[in-house]
Chain A
Amino acid sequence: MQTFATEAVDWPESATALREQVRALVAEHGERDPVRRANCWTKADPAFSRRLGEAGLLGMTWPREYGGHERSQIERYVVIEELLAAGAPVGAHWIADRQSGPLLLRMGNEELKRRWVPAIARGEAFACIGLSEPNSGSDLASVRTSARRDGDDWVINGQKVWTTGAHVAHFMIALIRSEPGSERQQGLSQFVIPMDAPGVTVKPIIDLTGAHEFNEVFFEDVRLPATALLGEEGNGWKQATAELSLERSGPERYLSSMALFTELVRHAGKHPDQTVRELVGRLAAEAWTLRLMSASVAAKLARGEDPALEATIVKDLGNSYEQAIPELVQAVVEMDLNGEDALARVTAYLLQVSPSFSLRGGTREILKGIIARGLGLR
């Protein structure tokens, strides 16, 4: 049994130059507060996203025809790991650049592609994903939001919940039941819904840190043209689940806490406490391994393979690592969590948000089920 077939990642010659470009950009426009640098892919800063667009760092792998830059997947990987390691506020464009753009290019009709893809690459159009619904949670196949035909149009009614970034997004790609009376994975389709369409209402869900990241989104007789259907009618389940590989494999699954690690190393340098240094070593080993694994998945995606199982393993290990860090730091470093010290502030912040790490992008239990299937147990 070989659990994870790793192959060497061919880091591009352009990597060094790309890293310098991103580092300079972040130094100029990025975030300096260590707390804001943690979990940065949920921090929206539309101005920073536009700046990245101008610099040609969004839609990097997409065709020039649609505003892309025809760079390689690994070059894109270099850019996103640099942004995350620096804690740049990339939340506004994150979903659009990671998932929605590639999905539109693969499945979208010409009108959808022209309308949204170049704007995403410019850092001007942001996306959200409509999957979960009240009472559906991880059981996505139980969605009830409906799309009904009315002449050439579609009329949408229902509700999505836990929708990340719906309040900054310009459009949603939603999984919706398009065949009345259909069950489970059958009869589902994906639709592209402009957030300013009449009948769309967004209500914030404030999290336990007081931050606004999630939303409830209501659809009341939202009328969409036939061209709003993404891909094939009835093929929504397959399209939506294929997209999850892109969501699960990325370095955001282990780099959310780099800001805390950096502060820990700074602290360890000032206080030659052996336990703290050993913790630095242990976390460094973990981060190094996760980077290898994450990049290896990116390399497989670049070769056109579908590393769904490997991506799931990386997300599960990444989540565990990120949830362990604040707890381990709290256990070995004496600190006042309400104090002004940077290390204490980042630790306090991550202790609060880390429960969400093993929820977003698929719960730990769902991921382990996928891995068990990969082992031939289901």
Chain B
Amino acid sequence: MSDTRRMLAEMADPLFAELSSSATMERDWARIEELGLPLLLAPETEGGFGGTWEDALVVFRLAGYHALALPLPEAIIAGRAQEGSQEHFLLCAFARGAQIAGALDAALAIAVGYVNERQQFGRPLGKFQAVQQSLATFACEAAAANCAAMGAAQALDRGDATFEVAAAKLRANRAVGVGSTVAHQVHGAIGFTEEYGLHELTKRLWQWRSEFGNDAHWSRVLGELVVARGSEAFWPDLTARTDPTRVD
């Protein structure tokens, strides 16, 4: 991680953890503004950070991790694209994908912590192979969502990223089902109560899965992109997206 991104994480993490799901605009937005976070992507000449999409990813992911109930991703994106435009929709889809990735990691951490503590049948739940295997499946899905979000951020920094954002949001959406199901399953009935905080994450995961494009939307967009290019173009296109431009 670069120094900028480490600094951003160190700044945002404790504040988001404190505000988390109970934050309100009236009470807490000023503290977000104090840190200058809404101006993350604005140029330094305009008082912003001059940040990249990879920097934004750090903030979006942490907002998801702490289920931050403030429209910070929307505020960060506001200066970049006109609301209602295709570009705006795409950028918000990227933000939701990143938030999902963060929230999945948080739900996984809570689940792992819980099964290590909770004793049943004379030993911690986490010692049961069936529980271990479910959580391993969850970890794979969370890993995929996180990698996909990063790939989309890199693509946005390179330029046209419709393909990558579509793929990342679709991948994140798919991870939500497995992740939230396992998180609740290993918690038993406790996870289903209002007093236990897991639902702050899972409710948002279900919400974010619908926002800015559900599975059908993005698989249609991606499918059309791929089919239009033809069967022989898929692989060369994929590699051309990441290879450094050739200098002839």
CB within 8 Å of B: which residues of A? 1-4, 6-9, 11-13, 15-17, 19, 81-82, 85-86, 258, 261-263, 265-266, 268-269, 274, 276-282, 284-293, 296, 310, 313, 316-317, 365, 367-369, 371-372, 374-378
Checking B131, B143, B166 against A293 with a beta-carbon cut-off of 8 angstroms, the contacting residue is B143
Complex CA distance for A278 and B132, rounded to whole angstroms? 33
Please name the residue on chain B nearest to A277 by beta carbon: B223
B200 in the interface (beta carbon within 8 A):
no
Residues of A within 8 A of B231 (CB): 262-263, 265-266, 269
Given contacts A6-B147, A285-B171, A375-B136, whether A19 and B239 have CB atoms under 8 Å apart is yes
B91 in the interface (beta carbon within 8 A):
no
CB atoms of A280 and B226 under 8 A apart: yes
Complex CA distance for A7 and B150, rounded to whole angstroms? 8
Q: In the complex, given contacts A19-B243, A265-B226, what are 15 additional A-B residue pairs having Cβ atoms less than 8 angstroms apart?
A: A1-B109, A6-B150, A13-B247, A16-B244, A16-B246, A276-B223, A278-B223, A281-B223, A284-B226, A289-B144, A368-B133, A369-B129, A377-B112, A377-B135, A378-B127
Nearest-Cβ distance from residue A217 to partner chain B, whole angstroms: 32
Q: Name A's interface SS.
A: helix
Q: List 28 A-B contacts (CB under 8 A).
A: A1-B106, A1-B109, A9-B242, A11-B244, A15-B243, A19-B236, A258-B235, A266-B230, A280-B222, A281-B166, A281-B222, A282-B219, A284-B223, A285-B166, A285-B167, A285-B168, A285-B219, A288-B151, A288-B167, A289-B144, A289-B147, A289-B168, A292-B148, A293-B147, A367-B136, A369-B133, A377-B127, A377-B132
CB atoms of A368 and B132 under 8 A apart: yes
Please name the residue on chain A nearest to B102 by beta carbon: A2
Complex CA distance for A148 and B171, rounded to whole angstroms? 53
Complex CA distance for A17 and B247, rounded to whole angstroms? 11
CB atoms of B147 and A292 under 8 A apart: yes
Please name the residue on chain B nearest to A9 by beta carbon: B242
Checking A11, A266, A367, A371 against B242 with a beta-carbon cut-off of 8 angstroms, the contacting residue is A11
Residues of B within 8 A of A268 (CB): 223, 227
CB atoms of B220 and A377 under 8 A apart: no
Residues of B within 8 A of A81 (CB): 239
CB atoms of A372 and B170 under 8 A apart: no
**Chain B 130-158 per-residue mask, 1 if CB under 8 angstroms from chain A, else 0:** 01110111011011101110110010000
Complex CA distance for A162 and B13, rounded to whole angstroms? 50
**Chain B 201-239 per-residue mask, 1 if CB under 8 angstroms from chain A, else 0:** 000000000000001101111111111001110111011
Complex CA distance for A292 and B136, rounded to whole angstroms? 20
Nearest-Cβ distance from residue B144 to partner chain A, whole angstroms: 5
Please name the residue on chain B nearest to A287 by beta carbon: B238
CB atoms of B227 and A269 under 8 A apart: yes
Most buried by A among B136, B231, B244, B246: B136
CB atoms of A284 and B222 under 8 A apart: yes
Checking A8, A288, A371 against B164 with a beta-carbon cut-off of 8 angstroms, the contacting residue is A288
Name the interface residues of B66-120: CB closer than 8 Å to any CB of A.
105-106, 108-109, 112, 115-116
CB atoms of B171 and A289 under 8 A apart: yes
Residues of B within 8 A of A13 (CB): 244, 247
Checking A4, A11, A86, A284 against B234 with a beta-carbon cut-off of 8 angstroms, the contacting residue is A284
Listed from nearest, the 7 A-B pairs whose CB atoms lie closest are: A281-B223, A281-B222, A4-B143, A281-B219, A277-B223, A372-B132, A1-B109
CB atoms of B238 and A288 under 8 A apart: yes
Complex CA distance for A14 and B108, rounded to whole angstroms? 40
Complex CA distance for A17 and B245, rounded to whole angstroms? 11
Please name the residue on chain B nearest to A367 by beta carbon: B136
Residues of A within 8 A of B167 (CB): 284-285, 288-289
Please name the residue on chain B nearest to A268 by beta carbon: B227
CB atoms of B144 and A8 under 8 A apart: no
CB atoms of B219 and A313 under 8 A apart: no
CB atoms of B108 and A1 under 8 A apart: yes
Residues of A within 8 A of B129 (CB): 369
Most buried by A among B106, B135, B235: B235
Given contacts A3-B146, A258-B235, A293-B147, whether A285 and B227 have CB atoms under 8 Å apart is no
